[in-house]
Structure 1
Amino acid sequence: MDFTSRMAALLGAFRRERNGAVADSMRFYGAPCGLNYGVSLPTLRTLARAEAADHDFAKYLWRQDVRCLRLAALHIADPARLTPGEFAFWGDGLLNSEIAAEAAFALLSRIGAFPELFAAWIAPDAGWLRQYAALMAAARVPHPSPAWAVPAAAVVHEAAAASIPEAHLLAHGAVALFTALGTRNEENRQAVLRAAGSLGQLPAEDCVHEELAWRLEV
């Protein structure tokens, strides 16, 4: 069965699960996909995981302007095949915060080249969607690096200073990473506290301070 036929079959399964109420209640930052059946994330994950891993098919789905197909691609892709040469391809498909968060959960945190991806996507000119995905994925990798704390804090500060609407998302992403780091050992905890200590009192920065106050018992 070719990719078009396989996509049509998968789309049919999603269509049977369509839910207008879910679609109407969705809240995210960024651009919407052209087509959205409103399939809930738990249902979408179950249907996508029933497919065999197929990286090329996943890339085919990722190109489609259909929410459920793009999200399904993240579960069908092979993390071992996502190399630095594909960073731009997957990054360009992060249309909104929902897709970025699911990418972090389902795919990015599992790739072998994650340190390289983090360095590329946390950069000041990477854009907030890549930065958010990088932070959320960094919080999920098996061995997060304490060296990531400083650029994570810098991203929050820059977004807060620029008053971008998505600054609070980056703050939550940084908190997730800081928590993952700081709860591993005292050395990491101190690295997190130093990085967070560089933040000021703008709203997104205050969010980080307040969250860490109880998560790390500062």
Structure 2
Amino acid sequence: MIGSPSSVAEIVAHLQSLRSQENIAGMARYGIATDGAIGISNPDLQKIARRVGRNHGRALDLWRTGIREARMLAIYTADPAALTPAEVRAWSADFASWEIVDAAADLLTETPFWRELIAEFSGDDREFVRRAAFSMIAGATVHNKREPDETFIAYLPLIEAHADDPRNFVKKAVNWALRNIGKRSRNCHGPALALSQKLATSVDKTARWIGKDAVKELSGEKVLARLKG
């Protein structure tokens, strides 16, 4: 069992000892980029992260290895209070898989500059960087409980502005952000549903899909019952 502290070399050697070609094939079936993958599940990586502990400098070095599992450990063991915008931008240049992006998004919403990142990343033309912006919105609606509803309602125009981006990993994140805003509270539900209905009638195919899918969930009995409760 790895103890803490552990070096990057020791951690990578341990990861390599757990290689699973079967798991790598399974990841590929879920659209996870497997370049540099060893084939370790995220629950198992989270266990390793708990054993080795948080170490921000080491996390940055783990990211630089380019190994999928090492990068997930970097996300799990980095310190959001220590992350700098320059470090985040360096990471974003490597974004190439929805799985890495969504895990990183949860970490990034814990930084003090997460709102600035959303503004920056949403305006970036790279598919996975733009996805990161909307994954952050989706995650923050759930995790940043002290944030006022108005913060998320204010993101609806940004969602509308990018609802016509047809790229698979962008449109799914835009849809996710819209649905999560609508499910956050009664206050958020009305404006999010109104935008969903508007998008559902769009002449643009992507925007129409995003809107119809969001309307379906936000009008569902399960969501409405929870909000009333």
Is the pair's TM-score, using the shorter chain for normalization, greater than 0.5? yes
**1:118-197 superposed matches below 5 A:** 118-123=118-123, 125=125, 127=127, 128-139=130-141, 140-144=143-147, 145-152=149-156, 154-155=158-159, 158-159=162-163, 161-166=164-169, 167-179=171-183, 181-182=184-185, 186-197=186-197
- State the Cα distance separating 1:97 from its structure 2 match: 0.3
- State the Cα distance separating 1:175 from its structure 2 match: 1.8
Q: After the TM superposition, which of the residue ranges 146-155 and 61-70 deviates more from structure 2?
A: 146-155
The 3-state SS of whatever aligns with 1:99 is helix
CA distance in 1, matches of 2:31, 2:152: 24
- State the Cα distance separating 1:59 from its structure 2 match: 1.2
Q: After the TM superposition, which of the residue ranges 42-51 and 126-135 deviates more from structure 2?
A: 126-135
Segments of 5+ residues of structure 1 without an aligned counterpart are: none
Indicate if the aligned counterparts of 2:105 and 2:132 stay in contact, CA closer than 8 A: no
CA distance in 1, matches of 2:104, 2:178: 16
- Who is 2:21 aligned against? 20
- Who is 1:94 aligned against? 95
CA distance in 2, matches of 1:126, 1:35: 21
Indicate if the aligned counterparts of 1:80 and 1:112 stay in contact, CA closer than 8 A: yes
Per-residue CA deviation, residues 186-217 of structure 1 (Å, 9 max, x unaligned), is: 33333333443432342222111112122532
Per-residue CA deviation, residues 52-103 of structure 1 (Å, 9 max, x unaligned), is: 3221211111122210001110011111012334331232232210001111
The 3-state SS of whatever aligns with 1:216 is helix
- Who is 1:203 aligned against? 209
Superposition TM-score, scaled by structure 2 size: 0.76
Between the aligned residues of both structures, percent identity stands at: 21
Distance 1:59 1:114, change over 3 A: same
CA distance in 2, matches of 1:142, 1:126: 29
- State the Cα distance separating 1:34 from its structure 2 match: 3.2
Indicate if the aligned counterparts of 1:96 and 1:129 stay in contact, CA closer than 8 A: no
- Who is 2:52 aligned against? 51
Distance 1:165 1:80, change over 3 A: same
Per-residue CA deviation, residues 107-131 of structure 1 (Å, 9 max, x unaligned), is: 1232222222223223364643323
Indicate if the aligned counterparts of 2:18 and 2:40 stay in contact, CA closer than 8 A: yes
- Who is 2:3 aligned against? none
Which of the residues 198, 223, 226 maps onto 1:216? 223
Indicate if the aligned counterparts of 2:196 and 2:212 stay in contact, CA closer than 8 A: no
- Who is 2:109 aligned against? 109
Counting matched residue pairs gives 207
Segments of 5+ residues of structure 2 without an aligned counterpart are: 1-5, 202-207
Superposition TM-score, scaled by structure 1 size: 0.79
Q: After the TM superposition, which of the residue ranges 166-175 and 52-61 deviates more from structure 2?
A: 166-175
Indicate if the aligned counterparts of 2:109 and 2:140 stay in contact, CA closer than 8 A: yes
Q: Which has the larger radius of gyration?
A: 2
Relative contact order (alpha carbons < 8 A, sep ≥ 6): 1 or 2 greater? Answer: 1
